[in-house]
Structures are given as C-alpha cells and as structure tokens.
Amino acid sequence: MSALPRPIINELRAVVGDTWVVVEEKAIERYLYDETAYGVRPQPIKDVIVVKPGSTEEVAEVLRIANKYKVPVYVRGGGTGLVGGAIPIKPGIVMSLERMDKVIIDSENMVAEVEAGASFGKLLEEADKHNLMFPAHPGDEGASVGGLIACNAGGSRAVKTGVVRSYVLGLEVVLPSGEVLKLGAKTIKNNFGYNLAHLFIGSEGILGVITRAYLRLYPKWGYTATVIIPFDSRVKAFRAAKKLLFSGFIPLALEYFDRRVIETSAKYLGLQWPIKEGDYFLMIMLAEALEDTLFLELEYLDRVAREEESLEPFATQRDDEQKTLLKIRSEIFSSLKSETFDILDTTVPLGNVDRFIENIIDVEKRYGIWLPVYGHVGDGNVHVHVLNYQGFSRDQLEKITEEVYNAALMLGGVITGEHGIGYIRRKYVKRLLGDTWIETMRKLKAVLDPNNVLNPGKVLPEE
C-alpha cells in the first residue's frame, strides 16, 4: 500500500475518478517495469499509486497536485522502453496515459491528430483505413505515440524516412506546473518563432507530459519488395552496403546480420531461415509509389550484388514472404532477450560501420564470447547484445559494455542512436556529454520543472 498521504490520494480521486486511481499492489505490478534487459533494469519502487487521467485537463490537474505536494510523477506510455525511463524509482505517482488513446485521421490534410496514449499499432491501423501511413517504423507497435515522441524513436526505416521527430507537426504538452502548451499546427511548414516542440521530442519524460500530437502521414506505398543478399564474407557484405548507400540509392531499410544471429531468431519463432547460402546477409527493403521504379531498383540491386561477389540473391514481392522475413529480422531482439545482459544501440557515422563491427569482433576474440551484432547499416545504428556469459561477473559485463561504447566513440559515434539515456545510461552522461551539457540541461529543467516532479532520477545524473 502506498505511503502517499490519504488527502493527496483523495485529491487525485476527485480529479480522475475513483476507478482511475489504482492503489492495490497486485494491480500496480504491471506498471512498474518496462522492456529494459533484466541485467541492467533498475529495481522499481513499489511505493507508488497509478493514476490514469482521461483528458489533458485531468493531466494538468494531476500535475498541479503533484507540484503542490512535491510528489514525483513517472509518465508511462506503452512500457516498451529499453533504458528504464518509465520505471518508478522514487515513491510517488505513475501516470499512465492509456485512457487517452483517440486517433483522428484528417485525410484531406494527411495529418493524424493523436492522443498520446494511443498505441503505435492503433495509429497504423487507423491511417491504413484511409490508405495513409506513418512512414517510420520505430519498433514495437505496443509503444504509445507519446512514448515514441518522448524518446524520438528510430527504427530500421530511418535510412529513408528519418526518425519520429521528422513527422511531428504539432504537440500539446502539459508542463509540470499544470500549464498547457500548444505548439505547431497541421501545416508542413511553420516558422512562427523558435520550434519549442523539438525541446520536448526526445526529452524522455523529464520536461513535460505530451498529451496530443499532430503527425504527418503519407499515402501508402503502392509497391514493396524485400531482397536478401547473402555473402561468404562480412567484408564483401559491407563493401556492397557502402556501394549502395554512396551511390545515392535510398532503400526503405538496409539491414545487416549474420547466420548465427538470424537463425537464432528463426528457431525462436519455430521457423527456418530460408536462405541456405552464405553466412553474412544484407536485407534490403524497397517501397515505391510506382512499380517501374521498384523494378529499376531491383535490377540495380542485382547488378551491385553481382559486382560485389554476392551469392545468389533472393527477392520477393509477395506479401506473406516479405512478412516472414521481416518477422524473423524483427524478433532477433526477443530471441536473445532471456540471455541478454544489455542491448546496446551504438551508432557510428555511415562510413565507419564496417570498422565498428571489426572492433566488436576484436572484443569478442579477446573475451572468448559471442557478441551478437546486427542492425541498421543504412543509418549507422548497430545493435550489440552483451549476454550473461557464464562465469562472468557484473563488473566484467559492464567492462565489455564499455568496450563496445568505446569502439563506437573512437569512430566518432554515440552510445545511443535510438533508445535514449533513461535510467541505465545516466552514468555515462558526465563523461560523454560533459559538465556544460549537464548544467544547461539542469537550468532548462529548473525553468520548466522547479520542483523536479517529472521523472526524477532519469536522464540527468543525481546532484
């Protein structure tokens, strides 16, 4: 039972209604965790209550109460975050936006007006009914739209579509004071002053609660294809990837993985990886409005594959086959999750991906371990899983993680291209971003959230 004083709970009940204030331990349990790997996931504090506002006004009232009593508020979307961002670590309130899930499609303007608690899956479904789509696909469809914006999520299509930030035309944000900030419009261009919305995109729940967004939609692609190009050497695979990218050819996705990684995922799903030849693969997804363009691209891919000495490429335009291939690729994360200490989302400049992976292989050799490596070679974002190797201490696993980070940093990269800082990467902030970054962020936070009620203990290091 929460130690939050009874009068505060009563005030919250008066705002959202009795049903929407959850105090029973069992019912709270599912709001305490996210998808962060078990090895690094913070221990949640159980001394919280869950509050589920149904409107922007209710979010504002809840924040006013929290501010008045200086009670921490942990905003929660779909709980699919991978860095502990939504996990409560101080006694207080978990604010779940699950009731705020309306999606309105304005097809004439190709804009979705979405409440922040709507799932990404729901946004896709609603857009689809109007023959429209949200072009980026930043991972888990159980994520909420608010969470995707708060984390500025990426995904495998970023090479062509960019990340979530590129689609946010307008935002409604409730500040910790309870004031409501309306930013942007349904327009594609908007030059009316400093674009404050971008301050909240990627702010990981520490500056304000995103309650609504205008998102830009596009007409659905008419034609898609998926091509797997196998190679007998990693070097050849990367040479081909570079040749494609540097030629100006922009696929929807350009992914790399090796046989061991992809077969682990196929086995987990009870499927077979259909490509028998080669041990290193490029997976290229194409999406175009015109079929002729798609065919020209397929021909071009075939030519590059042969010039770069690939084995026999496999190409399909069949929906079911494309879905199966994508499923096997997408479930790599899940297939490794139970033995993963931490999943990293290191990102390096485009031209350095091959060198980064060579450095990872060097770490593998030195420690005598398997470091599954795969990901978005098309945008430099490569996932590395550090596993729970038998006989390795926590310190050793952290040392391996640091070695992967250092490999990225030495090549001009960053330690996170997708998942963010959240809780688990706070300890690297000082070393990597420096005191001035921290001070500037603290000043910004103090202006918007002087009582530090929103997501305390996340992103910024403890003072």
Ligand X SMILES: Cc1cc2nc3c(=O)[nH]c(=O)nc-3n(C[C@H](O)[C@H](O)[C@H](O)COP(=O)(O)OP(=O)(O)OC[C@H]3O[C@@H](n4cnc5c(N)ncnc54)[C@H](O)[C@@H]3O)c2cc1C
Q: Provide CB contacts within 8 A for 284, sequence distance 6+.
A: 226, 227, 228, 229, 244, 251, 253, 254, 255, 301
Site for ligand X in 179-208 (CB under 6 A): 204-205
138 versus 278: smaller Cβ distance to ligand X: 138
Min separation Cβ 459 and ligand X, Å: 8
Q: Contacting ligand X (CB under 6 A), which of 214, 333, 356, 405? A: 333
> Which run of H or of E encompasses 410?
helix 394-410
- Residue from 48, 111, 210, 448 binding ligand X (CB under 6 A): 210
Q: CB-based contacts of 49: which residues, under 8 Å, 6+ apart?
A: 2, 4, 9, 12, 21, 22, 23, 28, 93, 94
Measured from the CB of residue 385, what is the shortest distance to ligand X in angstroms?
Answer: 13
What is the smallest separation between the CB atom of 382 and ligand X, expressed in angstroms?
12
What does the per-residue mask of binding to ligand X show for 42-71, with x meaning CB under 6 A?
------------------------------
Residue 143 touches ligand X, criterion: CB under 6 A: yes
Which of residues 72, 138, 372, 375 is near ligand X by CB under 6 A?
138
Does the protein bind ligand X through residue 126 (CB under 6 A)?
Answer: no
- State residue 449 phi and psi, 5-degree precision: -140, 65
Residue 170 touching ligand X (CB under 6 A): no
For the bound state, the minimum distance from the C-beta of residue 130 to ligand X, rounded and expressed in Å, comes to 23
**Percentages of the chain per state (helix, strand, coil), in multiples of 5:** 40, 20, 40
Helix (H) or strand (E) run with residue 281 in it: strand 280-288
Cα–Cα distance list, 256 to 121, 135, 155, 231 (Å): 25, 21, 14, 11
* Contact (CB, 8 A) for 75 and 411: no
Residue 150, interface with ligand X (CB under 6 A)?
A: yes
Name the one range near ligand X by CB under 6 A: 11-19, 22-30, 79-87, 389-397. Answer: 79-87
Residue 197 or residue 210: which is nearer to ligand X going by CB? 210
Query: Does position 460 bind ligand X by CB under 6 A?
Result: no
According to CB under 6 A, which residues from 396 to 455 bind ligand X? 418-419, 422, 455
Give CA–CA dist 436/451, Å, rounded.
21
Beta strands in 354-443 (DSSP E): 373-376, 381-387
We find the least distance from the C-beta atom of residue 429 to ligand X, in angstroms, to be: 15
Q: Site for ligand X (CB under 6 A): which residue of 39, 77, 176, 380?
A: 77
Please classify residue 96 by burial: count the beta carbons closer than 10 Å to its beta carbon, then call 0-12 exposed, 13-18 middle and 19+ buried: buried
Cα 412 vs. chain centroid, distance in angstroms?
21
Q: What six digits make up the tokens of 78?
A: 């779909």
Stretch that binds ligand X, among 150-158, 281-289, 306-314, 321-329 (CB under 6 A): 150-158
Q: Which helix (H) or strand (E) holds 7?
A: helix 6-16
Q: What does the DSSP assignment read for 370-383?
A: ---EEEETTTTEEE
Q: Which is nearer to ligand X, 236 or 419 (CB)?
A: 419
Tokens describing residue 46: 């159980």
Binders in 359-398 for ligand X, by CB under 6 A: none
Q: Among residue numbers 82 through 101, which ones bind ligand X (CB under 6 A)?
A: 82, 85-86, 97
- Contacts of ligand X in 22-41 (CB under 6 A): 34-35
278 versus 422: smaller Cβ distance to ligand X: 422
* Spatial contact of 244 and 229, defined as CB atoms under 8 Å apart: no
Chosen residue from 42, 135, 146, 372 binding ligand X by CB under 6 A:
146
- Interaction site with ligand X (CB under 6 A): 34-35, 75-82, 85-86, 97, 116, 138-140, 143-144, 146-148, 150-151, 153-155, 204-205, 209-210, 333, 418-419, 422, 455, 458
